[in-house]
Structure 1
Amino acid sequence: MSPVHSMDSAEGPLVKRARKSYPDNNRSVSLFSVSARHPLNVKPGGNSLLANSIDFKPSKSQQMGDFERFPEELLMEMFSYIQDPKSLMRLSHTSRIMYAYLYDEEIWRKLNTHKVLEGERINQQSETLPWKGSWRCTLLRLEESKEAKLQLKDNLLCSDILYRPFQCSKVDYSTLFSKIIKEESVYHQDSLNGDFDHTLLPSGRIARLAESQLTLNEFNENWSNKPFILTNENENRWPVWTLNQLLERFPEVKFRQEVVQWPLKLYSEYLANNKDESPLYLFDCNSMAMKSLKQEYAPPKIFQPDFFKTFNHFSSKPCRPDYAWLIIGPKRSGSTFHKDPNSTSAWNAAISGRKLWVMLPPGTTPPGVGTDEEESEVTSPVGIAEWVISGFFNDSLKIESCQIGITFPGECMYVPAGWWHSVINLDDSIALTQNFVPQSQLCKVLNFLKNKHGQISGFKPKNVKLVMDEILKSDKDINNETLSKLREYTSIFESLDPHLQEEDCGEITSEKLPPMPIFELFSQLMILGDNKQELEAGLEKLVKLEKNELMKKTGKSEMWTKLTDEKQESVGFSFGFGFDESDDE
């Protein structure tokens, strides 16, 4: 897979020859080597079918007592309702079998999550415990070196529920994706050398484009609807942040890691040593550190035009959803398949570490992911590692429209609006990402805000209300329909439960929060922001888009619907073929 070179004895230096094409290799991964030995000698469920002459004493049934009556799934669910770490520990000490069931990391992680959420519910901050290498050791305040590793004999306990998460926690992606990594490394190096031609890529690979050579017009006309990796010859294009450097600056600053908020020092200890199947991912936008870090970089020029900035038109009372994040995660962490909110596009710059991307276009549901027809409810029943080793990664590669690629430090991935994407961190990584609305994607955002109220997220009712108040107080002309919508919402807001007024609208049920007029607000702010011409062009495209979507949904064009409506209104309607009842044919 290395570039084709020849050595010219007369000239001496290495001379590059034009490459005819990049080899079109098989991208699937072999899953036969994904195995590991459980620390307590729990075996996969299939081992229970193997003949075993050893007479276990005491037997599994005797060690479990009355708990033996329950299916494993129900048993683990029951254990998750125990909210006291000491009680869980005592139960685990009743036998080796029970110790193995309660050794499972997910039970202890759920217990920690419950304590955090319970603290938030009663407005009391939960205690932040020093990290001890596992959730179990942390909650029990137990040094990892002193943890008992009680061994089970042979096939005494064969359980996929216990073995599979452990197996997933030991997945080595560098080995699993070695062929893809090798090929992408060549593409990356060629792009740095100016020797990369995306037209020669095999199918299903994400193109690389040089930032210095991609104009805004070319982006909007040719590239805004498909993913690509933006490369840059300038080594100082992005901040050179290492985790150690961030630790020196912000050791005690709390960052958001999914449901918890930890000081960066604590999270760094977790990142370096954890046993999770799906490690915690730091995804922060509002910490004190992030407010400072946002001043240290600038988005690529082609991504800077952003119509969602109009939500900040009244700068003293902005209502734009969060859009810029610092992302830090250990290797094996990442995100399951999702689409970016509100039909926005996104860019994601790798500061350190490599990321593997799997991407599918709108309308193509990823294997292993469940969704309804409107794609408003998305279910990813398994974590990333389980998704890969269950074969869904290979299934994705069989889909012609599937795109994969790896971003290396200094590269920036563009994610078009509506594209499904999953990300796997191959190394400990740091990245920056922002959501934005380019001109070429404005129509999709208008369609989303107008026709998919139930999927809108990120807007906080109180912030929206404040901006609407400013618009209503202004002396700007507002059309009657928009004016009516804004006034209707302001009256609804007054009856909204106070503790919901500052919640993300995506987290509030429709029964408690009727649809907010975000479409009307956005349109009015576009006009106030001197973007009326762009708005009108977007609305013109929206009409066409709505007609196409109606035809796809009903199988009938607008003209057909109009004709059939006229037929229902007119008794004597016909298509005018003029057949006589006496005709034989």
Structure 2
Amino acid sequence: MRERQQYGRNDDENNNSEVNAKRVKFSASPRTKRVTLSDFTCIQDPHPFGVLPGGNQFFMSDQSAQQPTSSKSLLEQVLDDKLWQTVLSYCDAKTLGNVVQVSRYLYVAGHQSELWRDLVLRQCDATKIAITKVAKSWKDTYVLLFSPTTTTQRLFVQSRPMNIPGIYSDTIYQSHFCRSFAIPDAWLVRTNDQNENYTEQQQQQRREIPCVSVESISPQAFFSHYEETNQPVVIQGAANGKAVDCWSNWEYLQAHSSPTKTFRTTSGAAPLSGYFTLDAYRKYTEFEYLEESPLYLFDRNAFVGNEQWEDDFFPDFYRQCPYWDPSGQYGHDLLQHLGSRQRPDHTWLIAGPKRSGSVFHIDPNCTHAWNACIQGRKRWIFYPPGDPPPGVLPSLDGDEVALPLSVGEWIVQYWEEHMEQYRQRPVGSRPMECTTFPGDVIFVPHGWWHSVINLDDVNIAITHNYLSPSNLGNALKFFVEKQDHISGCRDRAESIKPEMIHDALVEALRTKEPKHLEKAMAQTEWTCRAWSSQSTNQPDKEQQDPTSEVKRKTIMEQTEPLASFTFSFL
């Protein structure tokens, strides 16, 4: 397996817990189609430079068999593909431009999208500029942004990938596969399973995220059936309104946004965030060959100063879902009492191309969330609190999490184990899945692991994190015992800093919501398994017995090597 992504102390966290040894078997509905790994492998686009998996070299014709293996010179064969990727990552743009002219193999290795993306992001950060224009690839974008103007006007020509036969590399091909995996047909349709009314016991057995229509659920039903029980639910039609009708048109969005306004994008595999104008990001999503983990627009300031975008979405949304309206009679976003600029980050605009998304994580600061699907479809995969997904390795104290770099890599390496977990885990620990469609809103309970995969060429969503009486007790403990994990307030001068949030919230709620505060303050233990085994009141074996020979392993030491990439395509 390639290098794993590792989160530090200020990011989402969780901890391993023992799984009940009792196995529960059941028969799924005959209409339920379980996606298998083979559903992802029928990719339509070959590698842009003609690279094939390493196993294909054993099926070469007699004529091609006389060529050097993988078209590498003796010098190039000294280092394996992974080491060459490391070496090339240290090259500046001029050096990398020269390296790709050395040989056929280095031409392919040196044109990988991630190398040129990182060069663009680092140069933008160093020069403090935003990405205001893009070409058809990251390499061309670098030339367009940073070459002298006169040289660019005279010499700039869009590059075209050349097919280079005889390059066999599992490492290079795996990255292509992870960014080009097929989207299963079963994910793209709203099945009967999502609409049928199952009994509570049947729903529990099936472990599918329930779907209800916005007209059929009252605030009291939402609170009692889902929020207080900490269970996810999809509310169909909850976000239907002007945003769903108009935001599929990028020209509409641009017409109602400042042309100079920039939006933050991020990726777990990118070294830095990138800042795009809206038009530049739209063109980036249309790259013919995106990197394995595409940059995901995830901006907390998208609605600042943009009344039109706010009016397109929030009035209709709050009218249809009064239980999420902070100013309504059911207003229970308790963090609002800290002040809109003093509270941690809470509302984001999200946009991304097909196969972008977020790897497994837990939402920050012990908060619940709602996510409104505006354009495009999203596939959601949930694991209950305290039961991390396969391939996700939290440290004992939850300070670090090691996991695959991209959603594609997790699918390639762990989908079969994911299906096995579905079949063999106890009912309450099984994963849950669903697809959300434009107009749907999904409730994400606090402490749940979840991953999101965008399924369409254009995907836009709005999400909001909040506290309510149902998770206030856990949040107050979190703000005391997990201050290193508090996020969304460290880089803004006006925000309340982590060490002060608990006291500030208690003081505000003492006046605004005294009954909810009294109940939350009476809670002495965690009620969510996401943090219960990480409590600072529960010492580990080393603290209990100083003579113990048990040594705590780091996250990377716990990571077991996986079988090498073994796909072969003739």
Asked if structure 2 preserves the Cα contact closer than 8 Å seen for 1:355 and 1:407, the reply is: yes
Give the whole-Å Cα distance in 2 for the aligned partners of 1:461 and 1:100: 40
Find the aligned partners of 2:294 and 2:108 in 1 and give their Cα distance. 21
Alignment-derived partner of residue 349 in structure 1? 372
The answer to whether the 8 Å contact 1:361/1:418 transfers is yes
| Equivalent position amino acid for 1:271 in 2 | T
Distance 1:159 1:387, change over 3 A: same
Q: Which residue of 1 aligns with 2:299?
A: 284
Residues 54-111 of structure 1 show CA distances to partners (whole Å, capped at 9, x for unaligned) of 467874698546443223222211111112x222111101111110111211111121
Aligned to 2:18: none
Aligned mate of 1:246, from 250, 253, 256: 253
Q: Distance in 2 between matches of 1:443 and 1:365?
A: 23
Q: What amino acid does structure 1 have at the position aligned with 2:418? A: D
2:359 to 336, 339, 347: 336
Equivalent pairs: percent with the same residue?
A: 26
Give yes or no for the alignment of 1:379 onto 2:399: no
1:45 paired to 2:66: no
Bigger drift between 349-358 and 136-145 goes to: 136-145
Pair 1:162-2:172 in alignment? yes
Task: Compute the displacement of 1:133 (Å).
Answer: 1.9
Counterpart position of 1:303: 324
Alpha-carbon distance in 1 for matches of 2:508, 2:94? 56
**Is the 1:208–1:230 contact (alpha carbons within 8 Å) kept by the matching residues of 2?**
yes
Structure 2 residue 427 is matched with structure 1 residue 417? no
Kindly provide the CA deviation profile for residues 20-61 of structure 1, in whole angstroms up to 9, marking residues without a partner as x. 977344343424534752232211122244466346787469
User: CA 1:397/1:347 → structure 2, altered by over 3 Å: closer, same or farther?
Assistant: farther
- Amino acid paired to 1:151: N
CA contact (8 A) 1:334 1:423 kept: yes
Instruction: Check if 1:186 corresponds to 2:205.
Output: no
Cα separation, 1, equivalents of 2:73 and 2:94 = 19
| Residue among 77, 89, 99 paired with 2:86 | 77
1:226 to 215, 223, 231: 231
**What is the aligned counterpart of 2:432 among 400, 403, 416?**
403
What displacement does 1:288 show?
6.0
Pairs within 5 Å for 1:97-116: 97-116=105-124
CA distance in 1, matches of 2:538, 2:481: 19
Q: CA RMSD in A?
A: 3.4
Q: Tell me the distance in 1 between the aligned counterparts of 2:243 and 2:283.
A: 26
- Tell me if the contact between 1:333 and 1:424 (Cα under 8 Å) persists in the aligned partners: yes
Q: Secondary structure at the match of 2:499?
A: coil
- The code of the aligned residue for 1:429 comes to N
In structure 2, the residue corresponding to 1:37 is in which secondary structure? coil
Letter in 2 for 1:103: H
After the TM superposition, which residues 120-139 of structure 1 pair with which residues of structure 2 at under 5 Å, given as runs? Answer: 125-126=128-129, 128=131, 130-139=133-142
Largest Rg, 1 or 2: 1
Give the alignment partner of residue 255 of structure 1, picking from 239, 248, 263: 263
SS in 1 for 2:451: strand
Q: 1:264 aligns with which of 278, 283, 288?
A: 278
Aligned equivalents of 1:295, 1:118: Cα separation in 2: 37
Partner of 1:347: helix, strand, or coil? strand
- Match among 445, 449, 454 for residue 475 of structure 2: 445
Instruction: Tell me which amino acid in the other structure corresponds to 2:487.
Output: S
Of residues 344, 349, 365, the one that matches 1:321 is 344
- Equivalent pairs, count: 469
Match of 2:100 in 1: 92
**Which fold has the larger relative contact order, with Cα–Cα distance below 8 Å and residues 6 or more apart in sequence?**
2
Which residue identity lines up with residue 303 of structure 1 in the other structure? W
The one-letter code of the counterpart of 1:321 is P
* Counterpart Cα distance in 2 of 1:434 and 1:234: 13
TM-score (norm 2): 0.74
TM norm structure 1: 0.72
Shift of 1:226: 0.6
Residues of 2 paired with 1:28 and 1:62: CA distance?
35
2:507 corresponds to which of 489, 501, 524? 524
Q: Structure 1 residues 534, 103: CA separation in 2 closer, same or farther (over 3 Å shift)? A: same
**CA 1:148/1:133 → structure 2, altered by over 3 Å: closer, same or farther?**
closer
d(CA) in 2 for partners of 1:148, 1:234: 42
Cα separation, 1, equivalents of 2:158 and 2:125: 30
CA deviations over 1:424-478 (Å, ceiling 9, x no partner): 111121111100112111112112112212211112377578x6xxxxxxxxxxx
Q: Which moved more, 1:299-308 or 1:25-34?
A: 25-34
Q: Which runs of 5+ in 1 are unaligned?
A: 1-19, 120-124, 468-504, 506-514, 562-585
- Letter in structure 1 aligned against 2:301: N
Q: Which amino acid in 1 is paired with 2:100?
A: S
CA distance in 2, matches of 1:257, 1:391: 27
